[in-house]
């Protein structure tokens, strides 16, 4: 019998998404895979209804429907502070997941090196394996999750083709400062390296922190491939609308990759989402205060449960320190937590290259009542653990 490919042997199915299935099995409060349990804006659902009735129902133009591209170019130019041409600088993808994969495939060759900060978002591990690249991991040290400048320079000395920056960071909640980004920019320039950014949490950055778009740093637009999506900003993770923004040269390559990977993102969903891209500034301010409130509420519940955590600067995740439980296997711990305490988390070890079993990741993109229920259950964590050990 023929074997499955070698490349599929080096990574497992997504643990984040497996935790959702485990959570469902035990009827736990699912704070593992990051997606809201509240509704997207009503106007968007109305637009979707209109699109259902009036179309389009056939393929959109491969790299994005013209009205979607135009609205997205306007919105991103406004926030990124750089001119973006709808027909030259954008490819619309099936979520940021495809955007990242297409970005990597567009600029990285097999056996090229790619710098990945650790901890890193789970997908980057599989992404680098699937494109045959060799990751160089650079440690981000908790609690600030900052990098050692010397270590990063040493990584660049290995001549990587690209570096991946997730900002604001998943799972860390780290927001890179402008100084940190300028240092990375100087290395990227010196070593002629592509910079691939994952900025899906661009609008969820808690004050006084500020999001800096890497592409907007001096001279960086030409070497940055900015990936993001509408999933988190408009609470539509299931619509799978993402995009790549880059120079025309990169976009010409990315268009080809995307064309053969997926043909295109769903046409009726692009049509409906145009409305969101024209939302005014007040929408983004409300989104931020909505998440600032959720963060405050959830951190208070963690305090009440006497759990230690790293206060996130952005995104909607929090790394909880479980070192007091002397966990040998945090995957097993998270399964136990879902089963016996009724709250699902993601084992932190899946995000680290290093063998670190002392964190679990919760997300707080949930209704207040859901978070309160999780908080109530977490109060029982210690006594349940004592019975278990």
d(CA 332, CA 152): 33
Min dist. Cβ of residue 96 to ligand GLN (A): 8
Cα-to-chain-centroid distance, residue 101: 13
Please check whether residue 147 is in contact with residue 138, taking contact to mean a CB–CB distance below 8 angstroms: yes
Among 15, 23, 31, 33, binds ligand GLN (CB under 6 A): 33
| Contacting residue, 15, 16, 44, 166, with ligand GLN by CB under 6 A | 16
- 17 near ligand GLN, judged by CB under 6 A: yes
Structure tokens of 214? Answer: 């890497």
With beta carbons less than 8 A apart as the criterion, state whether 42 and 63 touch: no
User: Among residues 206 and 221, whose Cβ is nearest to ligand GLN?
Assistant: 206
Binding mask 79-108 for ligand GLN (x = CB under 6 A): ------------------x-----------
Burial 26-42 (b: 16+ CB within 10 A, else e): bebbbbbbbbbeeebbe
CB of 122 to ligand GLN, least distance (A): 7
User: Taking CB positions, which residue lies at the least distance from ligand GLN?
Assistant: 34
Residues numbered 161-190 forming contacts with ligand GLN, rule: CB under 6 A: 170
For residues 230 and 48, give the distance between their C-alpha atoms in angstroms, rounded to a whole number. Answer: 15
Kindly tell me which residue out of 34, 40, 64, 173 binds ligand GLN, with binding defined by CB under 6 A.
34
- Cα–Cα distance list, 11 to 124, 126, 217 (Å): 11, 6, 35
Q: How far is the CB of 34 from ligand GLN (least distance, A)?
A: 3
What is the rounded CA–CA span in Å between residue 28 and residue 74? 41
By CB under 6 A, tell whether 21 contacts ligand GLN.
no
Whether the ω angle into residue 269 lies within 30 degrees of 0, i.e. cis, is no
**CB of 333 vs ligand GLN, minimal distance in Å:** 18
- In angstroms, what is the minimal distance from the CB of 317 to ligand GLN? 7
Nearer to ligand GLN, 16 or 152 (CB): 16
Residue located via tokens 């497992």: 12
Least distance from C-beta 123 to ligand GLN, angstroms? 7
Classify 239 as helix, strand or coil.
helix
* Complex with ligand GLN: residue 76 or 97, whichever CB lies closer: 97
- Give 147's strand partners: 140
Q: Which of residues 222-241 bind ligand GLN (CB under 6 A)?
A: none
The least distance separating ligand GLN from the CB of residue 33, rounded to whole angstroms, comes to 4
Nearer to ligand GLN, 60 or 365 (CB): 365
d(CA 311, CA 299): 8
Pick 116 or 250: Cβ nearer ligand GLN: 116
Is residue 29 helix, strand or coil?
A: strand
Please report how close the Cβ of residue 232 comes to ligand GLN at its closest, in angstroms: 8
Nearer to ligand GLN, 55 or 238 (CB): 238
Tell me how many residues contact ligand GLN (CB under 6 A): 6
Which CB atom, from 126 or from 220, has the smaller least distance to ligand GLN? 126
Rounded least distance, CB 36 to ligand GLN, Å:
11
What 205-210 contacts at long range (C-beta under 8 Å, 24+ apart), as own/partner pairs, is 205/168, 205/175, 205/288, 205/313, 205/314, 206/288, 206/291, 206/292, 206/295, 206/312, 206/313, 206/314, 207/292, 209/175, 209/313, 209/314, 210/175, 210/178
- If the CB atoms of residues 17 and 300 are measured against ligand GLN, the closer one turns out to be 17
Q: Closer to ligand GLN at the Cβ: 135 or 169?
A: 169
Residue 164 in 3-state DSSP? strand
Interface ranges with ligand GLN (CB under 6 A): 16-17, 33-34, 97, 170
């Amino acid at each position: 019998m023929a074997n499955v490919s070698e490349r599929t042997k080096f990574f497992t199915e997504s643990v984040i998404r497996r935790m959702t299935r485990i959570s469902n099995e035990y009827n736990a409060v699912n704070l593992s895979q990051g997606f809201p349990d509240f509704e997207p804006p009503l106007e968007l659902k109305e637009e979707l209804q209109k699109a259902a009735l009036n179309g389009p129902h056939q393929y959109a133009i491969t790299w994005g429907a013209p009205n979607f591209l135009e609205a997205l170019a306007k919105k991103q130019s406004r926030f990124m502070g750089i001119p973006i041409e709808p027909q030259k600088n954008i490819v619309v993808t099936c979520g940021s997941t495809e955007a990242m994969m297409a970005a990597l495939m567009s600029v990285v060759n097999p056996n090229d090196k790619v710098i990945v900060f650790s901890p890193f978002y789970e997908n980057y591990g599989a992404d680098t394996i699937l494109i045959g690249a060799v990751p160089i991991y650079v440690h981000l040290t908790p609690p600030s999750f900052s990098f050692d400048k010397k270590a990063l320079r040493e990584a660049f000395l290995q001549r990587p083709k690209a570096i991946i920056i997730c900002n604001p960071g998943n799972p860390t909640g780290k927001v890179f400062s402008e100084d940190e980004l300028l240092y990375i920019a100087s290395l990227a320039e010196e070593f002629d390296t592509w910079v691939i950014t994952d900025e899906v949490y661009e609008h969820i950055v808690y004050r006084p922190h500020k999001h800096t778009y890497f592409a907007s740093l001096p001279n960086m637009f030409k070497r940055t491939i900015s990936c993001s999506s509408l999933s988190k900003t408009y609470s539509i993770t299931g619509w799978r609308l993402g995009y790549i923004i880059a120079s025309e040269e990169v976009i010409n390559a990315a268009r080809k990759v995307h064309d053969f990977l997926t043909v295109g993102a769903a046409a009726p969903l692009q049509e409906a989402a145009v409305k969101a891209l024209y939302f005014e500034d007040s929408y983004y301010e409300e989104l931020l205060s909505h998440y600032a409130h959720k963060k405050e509420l959830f951190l208070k519940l963690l305090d009440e449960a006497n759990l230690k955590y790293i206060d996130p600067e952005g995104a909607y995740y929090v790394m909880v320190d479980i070192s007091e439980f002397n966990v040998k296997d945090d995957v097993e711990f998270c399964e136990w937590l879902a089963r016996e305490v009724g709250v699902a988390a993601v084992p932190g070890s899946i995000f680290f290259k290093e063998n670190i079993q002392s964190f679990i990741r919760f997300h707080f993109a949930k209704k207040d009542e859901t978070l309160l229920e999780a908080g109530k259950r977490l109060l029982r964590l210690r006594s349940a653990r004592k019975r278990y050990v």
